[in-house]
A = this chain, B = another copy of it.
Amino acid sequence: MNDFEKVTTGLGEECGVFGAYDMDGGDVAPTVYYGLFALQHRGQESCGIAVTDTYGERKVQSKKGLGLVNEVFDSETLHSLKGNLGVGHVRYSTAGGSRAENAMPLVINYVKGILAIAHNGNLTNAIELRRELELTGAIFQTTIDSEVIAYHIARERLKTSSAEEAVKNAMKKIEGAYALVVTSPRKMIGARDPFGLKPLCLGKRDNTYIFASESCALAAVGAEFVRDVLPGEIVSITKHGIDSDMSMAIAPEKQARCIFEYIYFARTDSTIDGVNVYHSRLTAGKALAESYPVEADLVVGVPDSGLVAAKGYSEQSGIPYGMAFHKNSYVGRTFIKPKQSERESSVKIKLNVIEEVVRGKRIVMVDDSIVRGTTCANIIRMLKKAGATEVHVRISSPPFLYPCYFGTDVPSNEQLIAHSHTTEQIREMIGADSLGYMEIEKLKDMVGELSYCDACFTGKYPMKVPGRDISQAFE
């Protein structure tokens, strides 16, 4: 759920988006800034804010850069961004694709003025679309899908009478996962792909309307949650109010929310599509307790994302919940990694076991996933060294077996321990006394009535996928 987890698990989300439109004309840049802060866990590579005003010259000012929100913006810069309509973005990317040019929001001039776009998600037909566009003379200055989307909106805008229409027509062409916030002169538009793979919600504070990837960002800026943008919905905010276009929506049972938002990506204080993330993880923990009961003295979670599931396991099993770890909250983006030759390991620097808590105890340790297995093995070793007599590992997600084409940065198969090992083999490799993964059929308990995508566990994709990793295709 933050940099620490990213490093330990090797997983990463693609982005967080945030938009704000103050009908009373106040500057929104500080609100976007604090909103991005609350979404920082969704991307730590780069960030940016673009603002315009709806009453004056309608120029766009933007600031983007590599780094965390508090590294990219200083007070002077933030307060120099004037305007009552703004959009912001935090971006995650694997090291290879890390380029200043790829920072968002993307700000473009097109036939109708200036458009700023923030986008979370990956397109599955990006290669075809870029090729198509290039064959009509398009040029690309970044390697992000958002530029493809922007092109389509710009081209469609020529044939339509409104930006909303253009967005809709663009959505007919693009395939894959996307949550979009777009500002066109005097308009703020939010949209989700028909499958609802990526989350987006709407909030309000006084006369300011807000779009955010997660509801936690609404709380951070003192806004009320209004509702989720629905899968396939286009919501448009103008001075005349809110408009909704549902014509791209598909049947609820075909929708495919990313289950990993609930397992790992989203903050526990967010509620997505009516399901609270804390509740969802608690349920996962309970399910694990039902599936894999064990005699033990203490249930502990690996911070931060394993904590709630551990609580659920504890509640269901009756085994006491404990805090076994101290996590160092100062290990940031620019932390100097220990060399192989150095005795300090990254895990030890980030996480320490509280011996007092675990000594002489049989431990149930809950974490959200196992990627390569090395971090998990290290933590188990630390627990045993601290005196734990047994360590039973429970994982609140099924084993990763298939690539994600929608924006989750799952390592390639050869790096995924579950790809080439049985659960028993993995248990032995990590040194656990027992090991249980969340059962695929129980995932549905986490999200109630919602239909979801679990393709990374099952290989059942909700749409046609490229069949190979295209995330670096344009680097």
Contacts and interface: CB of A to CB of B under 8 A. Distances in A.
Interface stretch (A248-256, A329-337, A368-376, A463-471): A329-337
B110 A34 contact: no
A220 B135 contact: no
A61 B140 CA distance: 15
27 contacts: A2-B329, A31-B342, A34-B344, A37-B335, A38-B352, A59-B475, A68-B332, A109-B134, A109-B139, A111-B135, A111-B137, A136-B136, A137-B155, A141-B141, A220-B344, A220-B348, A220-B352, A222-B343, A222-B345, A269-B326, A269-B354, A271-B356, A276-B354, A278-B354, A279-B356, A311-B322, A321-B321
Interface in A274-329: 276, 278-279, 304, 307-308, 311, 321-323, 325-326, 328-329
Nearest to A40: B330
Nearest to A334: B70
Nearest to A219: B352
Contacts of A349: 34, 37-38, 220
A41 interface: yes
A77 to B, nearest CB: 9
A216 B386 CA distance: 13
Contacts of A334: 70-71, 74
A2 B330 contact: yes
Contacts of A135: 111, 158
B141 A336 contact: no
A221 interface: yes
A115 B141 CA distance: 10
A344 B219 contact: no
Contact of A154 (B30, B138, B219): B138
A151 interface: yes
A206 B111 CA distance: 48
A268 interface: yes
Given A31-B344, A276-B355, A109 B140 contact: yes
Contacts of A267: 326, 352
Given A2-B330, A40-B328, A101-B107, 20 more contacts: A4-B329, A30-B339, A31-B342, A37-B335, A38-B349, A70-B336, A109-B130, A111-B135, A111-B137, A135-B158, A136-B158, A137-B154, A205-B343, A219-B348, A220-B344, A222-B343, A268-B326, A269-B352, A276-B354, A329-B329
Nearest to A111: B134
Given A220-B352, A344-B222, A352-B269, A140 B30 contact: no
Contact of A37 (B150, B276, B330): B330
A254 to B, nearest CB: 28
B108 A141 contact: yes
A69 B330 contact: yes
A269 B383 CA distance: 13
B158 A221 contact: no
A106 interface: yes
B137 A158 contact: yes
A199 to B, nearest CB: 16
- Copies of this protein chain in the complex: 4
Contacts of A147: 139
A205 B158 CA distance: 50
A221 B346 CA distance: 10
A222 B344 CA distance: 6
- Of the candidates A136, A330, A475, the one having the most CB atoms from chain B within 10 angstroms of its own CB is A330
A151 B134 contact: no
Interface string A57-84: 0010000000011110111001000000
A312 B356 CA distance: 14
Contacts of A268: 323, 326, 354
Contacts of A150: 139
Contact of A336 (B78, B308, B339): B78
A226 interface: no
Contacts of A221: 343-344, 348
Nearest to A475: B59
A110 B140 contact: yes
